[in-house]
Amino acid sequence: MTVLTKTNIDKGLAILKNTQDSKLITNLNSCVHCGLCGESCIYYLTYKDPRYLPAQKVDLITSIYKRYCTFIGKNIPFLTNAKDLDEKNLKEMVDLFFGACTMCGRCNLHCSIGVDIAYLVRTGRMMLAEMGYIPDTIQSTVDASINTGNNMGITKEEFIDTLNWLEDDLKDEVNDEKARIPVDEKDKNILYTLNPREPKFFPLSISAMAKIFYAAKESWTISTSMYDITNYGYFTGNKEEASIIVKRLFDEMKNLNAKELILAECGHGSRAFRWEGPNYLKNKYDFKTITSVELIADYIKTGRIKVDKEKLKQRITLHDPCNLVRNGGIVNEQRYIINQIAKDFVEMTPHGIDNLCCGGGGGQLAMSEYNERRMAIGERKADQIKNTSAQIVITPCHNCVDQLIQINSYYKLNVQIKTLAEIVADAIILE
Amino acid sequence: MAQMEIEGKTFDVDGDGFLSTPEIWTDEVAMLFAKYDGIDIMTDKHWAVVKFIRKNFEEKGNAPMIRSICQETGVKLREIYELFPLGPARGACRVAGLPKPDGCV
């Protein structure tokens, strides 16, 4: 950890002193301490510790803002609960902003006056990033991305070997020697992205998308130099690093001259590139970028792929990834798809934009020091799944998939966890 | 740093239960870690996967790609997820005594 100096304190405070950011200033001055956010937060619901109240997280950053940016706070701090940015409060910031929040945004939804609490937590992370207080465990994932081009350090050779291996499988699966996984081809309709955990450890979802593209007779390609949709710079709050990662994908899109960029089933990656990306680059994209969830729904709706409606007989439930659903507004497409192939689909309670976070968001999966908390807050998701009596849990986010795999084992749920592409690929009728 | 106790033996691990000192790994450690994950018997297939991952780590310093694991051991992809319910990373790599890989795993 960095030693706290005046210079790095000033770097952190510069984020709060940015008077250009009216959204930040409004949110910093708005919490009325009604406490409604408490019941929305999986950390507070699990531990019932007032420290974990979302309002308490808001209060921590607000008290520092008051101390350095308001007249009363500067002169008579105790009158307005203004606090110094010292070692003690810094430790608390790291613990609450990195270790006790997945930035799922459920508290925003329940806030009586609409404070963007997750944005304030992210601002807190941005301050910590400026001061050099990002936990090493999450920074190493960003470093891997920046230094190797993907967050798992996969070499180009290993990546190509994997795609060739999957292409052989695809040929068998669709019984067509001409079936392909095209790489680095220019002027295609679609450039498809991946989460590096797919080629490294979980490639069934790559095979599934390749089969879907095959069935849709799509013109598509994967880049072997920049395919990584994840962006842990978004989680750490380091804007420069997050921007570098977004810029690389943007540049590769230009290089291969594809018409549309399709985002793999990755909640935070979709958010970082599609919704935050133009802000990072200060540039509006001149190409279409949508998620594979929307693309698959469109393939089915327009008849480009045909699916067997009787395929899935087991009971299915759906986990809504926060960044895609609550924060991204993609709510109906995944339900439309599931209803086309599953006979027995049961929703969790609550679901959709009010769904509970799985507990793995916000970079929690990478920070092993908070593992115990991550498993504890996951109990609510385990209970939600149990209550549906489902045998298969579908979720269009690889990060959620991993947390759900662990919850499945830890709470002995005995369910299967699948991506959306996997169940669609299994149900495809090839003509 | 945390500690994990399995059948009276204590190990230094990270918060996710990955061995902090990969060099102390032995077959016995593998069996204890597997047991902790609910794998009561390490079959030949479990060992083939674990030994290959371990060899790759000792030679190259990281976890192998799933393609190499399948092709080198002959174990089928879907079978690996059945052998190690926590998956190749949190399951097999942890049993093989590797540090936790970066990324969404």
Tell me the per-residue pLDDT of A233-288, one tens digit each, with 9 for 90 and over. 999 999 999 999 999 999 999 999 999 999 999 999 999 999 999 999 999 999 99
Give the position of tokens 């001061």: A131
A89 interfaces chain B, CB cutoff of 8 Å: no
Q: What angle do CA A266, A227, A276 make, to 5 degrees?
A: 50
Band (pLDDT 50/70/90 cuts) for residue B102 is confident
Asked whether this complex has an ipTM greater than 0.90, the answer is yes
- Return d(Cα A160, Cα B105) in angstroms, integer: 21
Structure tokens at A56: 């308490």
Give residue A170's pLDDT: 98
pLDDT tens, chain A, 431 aa long: 567 889 999 999 999 998 888 999 999 999 999 999 999 999 999 999 999 999 999 999 999 999 999 999 999 999 999 999 999 999 999 999 999 999 999 999 999 999 999 999 999 999 999 999 999 999 999 999 999 999 999 999 999 999 999 999 999 999 999 999 999 999 999 999 999 999 999 999 999 999 999 999 999 999 999 999 999 999 999 999 999 999 999 999 999 999 999 999 999 999 999 999 999 999 999 999 999 999 999 999 999 999 998 889 999 999 999 999 999 999 999 999 999 999 999 999 999 999 999 999 999 999 999 999 999 999 999 999 999 999 999 999 999 999 999 999 999 999 999 999 999 999 999 98
B20 interfaces chain A, CB cutoff of 8 Å: no
Q: What is the DSSP string of A174-241?
A: HT-TT----BS-SS-SEEE-B-THHHHT-THHHHHHHHHHHHTT--EEE-SSS-B---HHHHHT-HHH
A359 interfaces chain B, CB cutoff of 8 Å: no
Band (pLDDT 50/70/90 cuts) for residue B14 is very high
Alpha-carbon distance values, A115 to A25, A29, A159, A361 (Å):
11, 9, 43, 20
8 A C-beta contact, residue A338 and residue A318: yes
Residues of B in contact with A197 (CB under 8 A): 89, 103-105
Give residue A2's pLDDT: 65
Q: Give the SS3 label for residue A286.
A: coil
Chain A nearest-CA distance from B105, in A, is 6
Structure tokens at A199: 């080629």
Give the orientation angle of helix A54-69 with respect to helix A6-16, to 10 degrees: 110
- Return d(Cα A337, Cα A340) in angstroms, integer: 5
Asked if B104 and A195 come within 8 Å (Cβ–Cβ), the reply is yes
Q: Give the SS3 label for residue A329.
A: coil
Size of interface A-B (CB pairs under 8 A): 93
Asked if A368 and B65 come within 8 Å (Cβ–Cβ), the reply is no
Structure tokens at A324: 């895609």
- Return d(Cα A351, Cα A34) in angstroms, integer: 25
- Which domains are present in chain B? 2-95 (1.10.10.370)
CB-neighbour burial class of residue A389 (10 A; exposed 0-12, middle 13-18, buried 19+): exposed
> Residues in chain B, how many?
105
Give residue A1's pLDDT: 56
Sign of the torsion formed by the C-alpha atoms of A99, A105, A109 and A113: positive
Chain A nearest-CA distance from B27, in A, is 23
The one-letter amino acid code at A223 reads: S
Dihedral pair phi/psi, residue A123, rounded to 5°: -65, -40
- Return d(Cα A57, Cα A80) in angstroms, integer: 16
Structure tokens at B87: 């998956």
Residue in A200, A202, A368 nearest the CB of B16: A368
Residue in B18, B66, B71 nearest the CB of A201: B66
Alpha-carbon distance values, A336 to A186, A297, A301, A332, A340 (Å):
32, 7, 9, 6, 6
Distance spanning both ends of chain B, measured CA to CA: 19
Strands A312-318 and A342-345: parallel
Q: Between the CA atoms of A170, A172, A176 and A182, what dihedral angle is there, to the nearest 10 degrees?
A: 20
> Residues in chain A, how many?
431
- Which domains are present in chain A? 6-133 (1.10.1060), 139-298 (no CATH), 306-429 (3.40.50)
Give residue B94's pLDDT: 96
Residues of A in contact with B37 (CB under 8 A): 409
Tell me the per-residue pLDDT of B39-84, one tens digit each, with 9 for 90 and over. 999 999 999 999 999 999 999 999 999 999 999 999 999 999 999 9
